[in-house]
Amino acid sequence: MQFDALNQEIREFCDERDWEQFHTPKDLAIGLSTESNELLEQFRFKDTEEQAALLEDAGSRQAIEAELADVLFFTLRFADLYDVDLEQALADKLDTNRERYPKDEYASSNKKYDE
Amino acid sequence: MQFDALNQEIREFCDERDWEQFHTPKDLAIGLSTESNELLEQFRFKDTEEQAALLEDAGSRQAIEAELADVLFFTLRFADLYDVDLEQALADKLDTNRERYPKDEYASSNKKYDE
Amino acid sequence: MQFDALNQEIREFCDERDWEQFHTPKDLAIGLSTESNELLEQFRFKDTEEQAALLEDAGSRQAIEAELADVLFFTLRFADLYDVDLEQALADKLDTNRERYPKDEYASSNKKYDE
Amino acid sequence: MQFDALNQEIREFCDERDWEQFHTPKDLAIGLSTESNELLEQFRFKDTEEQAALLEDAGSRQAIEAELADVLFFTLRFADLYDVDLEQALADKLDTNRERYPKDEYASSNKKYDE
């Protein structure tokens, strides 16, 4: 329901500008990568305390939230245009990860399953 | 509601493994960047027809959907841990973009607003 | 020789600002990812002709070259601080790729070796 | 000289497979982003000591060096195909950064010039 409402708003925004022509899978994936990196860039060279301070300051928090929104925009747009059921995909991925990372074995562990 | 339900499932998955300790803003942003790039990697060097074929083949579609789910996982996790109202953030960003990209001026245009 | 001279210049630039303290492997890898994405962002939504036009225009070419220089900066800095012999690493990687991609089998092919 | 020799080897490797057709500016930039993220992925969730341990272990060091070599491969390939003088571009960028980051003002500082 929530995804549906947001998808609808994104679709109107894009259709009003006739932007679907630019939204190939490759270019939407580029959108995800570039916006993720604008978020990441905010934390570059920052230690844990500095990261927390960025989230407390109103100005930098707003910038961080705007980058995260851009990531969500491209995620929803990709799913909407290329028929991905995001809720199902996430449920499936969590199932996979429950198998890859049994809770006892990976408690407090930051190892990758294939490490 | 939908975000809330997914957040809850992600929170349980992470809490069962005591993983919150690794989920700094910086590392979650790294999660977004690395997973976005695993998605992007699928389309590297591929032309438009080949991208469409990847989405039609069951095996590659599954891989693509799994990567997109990983991106959503980290987006929701970031928002949940650091108190971002994703729905509001996206609405705000769309407002900003409606101003940056007036529909008449940017119809069928792939220019950036500051280009 | 060329790498050595550039490394030396980069080292002086960083030492004058006492920046080595920020240059962990993780943060230099973040540097590579964020700068690569500033380069990539220039080509987002652009078709082949538009990409060529960006390289012909003096202003956008300068921006592109500056992003590529940032990528090289972080590559050399990582190698210098963490003792990577880049020339050897590249030679080794080309050897690996010659095996993974036998020239007859992969002529004009954009498949990945593990696809 | 060193760049020239490496460029020559990369060019032969690509020409033997007729791969220039895939090497648009956009796809080479995708190459840089995806390979940077394979490097970055190695350090995800890892603290400073764990990062150092990864560089000491022969197996993980080899993987790290191979990813850095992939980044260098795409950097050199981009510069070679699209006529970027990397040495000049890096010198220009260092000049820009010396102005943006005056050494007294930015000593031991991890602020961005536009922060």
- Do C69 and D89 touch, CB atoms closer than 8 A? yes
- Give the DSSP letter string of C33-47: HHHHHHHHHTTTT--
Element (H, E) at D28: helix D25-41
Digit-coded pLDDT (tens) for B43-95: 999 999 999 999 999 999 999 999 999 999 999 999 999 999 999 999 999 99
D-contacting chains (≥3 CB pairs under 8 Å): A, B, C
Chain B contacts in chain A segment 31-60 (CB below 8 A): 32-33, 36-37, 39-40, 42-43, 46, 48, 51-52, 54-55
Residues C73 and C12 sit within 8 Å (Cβ to Cβ): no
List CB contacts (< 8 A) between D33 and chain A: 33, 37
Task: Check: pTM over 0.90? Answer yes or no.
Answer: yes
Chain A neighbors of D50, CB-CB under 8 A: 110
CA distance C35 to D65: 19
pLDDT at D1 over 80: no
Q: What HEC string does A7-57 produce?
A: HHHHHHHHHHHCCHHHCCHHHHHHHHHHHHHHHHHHHCCCCHHHHHHHHHC
Q: How far is B114 from chain A (nearest CA, A)?
A: 16
- For D64-87, what is the mean pLDDT? 97
Percent of chain D with pLDDT over 90: 89
CB nearest A66 (choices: B75, B93, B98): B93
Residue B20 and residue B77 in contact, taking contact as beta carbons nearer than 8 Å: no
Q: A28 CB near a chain C CB, below 8 Å?
A: no
Backbone angles phi, psi at B100, to 5 degrees: -70, -35
Distance between C33 CA and the closest CA of chain D, angstroms: 5
Q: What is the identity of the amino acid at A6?
A: L
- Name all contacts of D13-16 with Cβ < 8 Å and 24+ positions apart: D13/C94, D13/C97, D13/C98, D14/D77, D16/C103
pLDDT band at C57 (very low <50, low <70, confident <90, very high): very high
Q: How far apart are CA C104 and CA C94, in angstroms?
A: 16
State residue C22's pLDDT score: 96
Identify all chain D residues contacting B36, using CB atoms and an 8 Å cutoff. 37
> Looking at residues D56-71, what average pLDDT do you find?
98
C-alpha distances out from residue A25 to B22, B25, B62, Å:
31, 27, 14
* Chain D nearest C-alpha distance from C69 (Å): 5
Question: CA-CA distance, C4 to B55, in Å (whole number)?
Answer: 46
Q: Is the pLDDT of residue D96 over 70?
A: yes
Q: Which amino acid is at A98?
A: R
Contact residues on chain D for C108, CB-CB shorter than 8 A: 17-19, 21
User: What's the confidence (pLDDT) of residue C8?
Assistant: 94
CA of B47: how far to CAs of A26, B100, D21, in Å? 9, 30, 11
Cα D82 from Cα B30, distance rounded (Å) = 30
Do A14 and A81 meet the contact criterion of CB atoms below 8 Å apart? no
Ranges under pLDDT 70 in chain A: 1
**Residue B90 near residue A72, CB atoms below 8 Å:** yes
Q: Which of D13, C50, D16 is nearest to A21 (CA)?
A: C50
The helix (run of H) or strand (run of E) holding residue C48 is helix C48-56
Contact B40 D27 (CB under 8 A): no
Closest to D34 in 3D by CA, of B73, B35, B59:
B35
Percent of chain D topping pLDDT 70 = 99
| C contacts of D52 (beta carbons < 8 Å) | 25
pLDDT in tens, B2-38: 888 999 999 999 999 999 999 999 999 999 999 999 9
Using CB atoms and an 8 Å cut-off, which of residues 71-110 of chain D contact chain C? 71-73, 75, 78-79, 82, 84, 86-87, 89-94, 96-98, 101, 103, 106-110
Mean confidence (pLDDT) of chain B: 95
Which residue is it, tokens 């080509």? C43
DSSP state of D115: -
Q: Residue C63 corresponds to which amino acid?
A: A
Provide the token pair at A45.
């060279």
Q: d(Cα C3, Cα B54) in Å, to the nearest integer? A: 40
Between chains, do B40 and D22 touch, taking CB under 8 Å as contact?
Answer: no
In whole angstroms, give the CA distance from residue C100 to residue A3: 42
Say how many C-beta atoms besides its own lie within 10 A of residue A22's C-beta. 18
C49 membership: H or E segment, kind and range: helix C48-56
pLDDT at D48 over 90: yes
Give the pLDDT score at D68.
Answer: 98
* Percentage of chain C modeled with pLDDT above 70: 99
Q: Where are the alpha helices (H) located in chain B, listed in sequence order?
A: 2-17, 25-41, 48-56, 58-81, 86-100
Residues of A in contact with B63 (CB under 8 A): none
| Integer Cα distance of D2 and A1 in angstroms | 58
- Exposure string of C3-16, with b = 16+ CB inside 10 Å and e = fewer, is beebbeebeebbee
Phi, psi of B30 (to 5 degrees): -60, -40
Q: Cβ neighbours of residue C99 under 8 Å, at least 6 residues apart?
A: none
Per-residue pLDDT at C66: 98
* Minimum distance, in Å, between the CA of residue B14 and any CA atom of chain D: 14
Average pLDDT (D20-31) is 97
CA distance B41 to D30: 8
The pLDDT, as a whole number, for residue D115 is: 78
Q: Is the ipTM of this complex over 0.90?
A: yes
Superfamily for D3-104? MazG-like (1.10.287.1080)
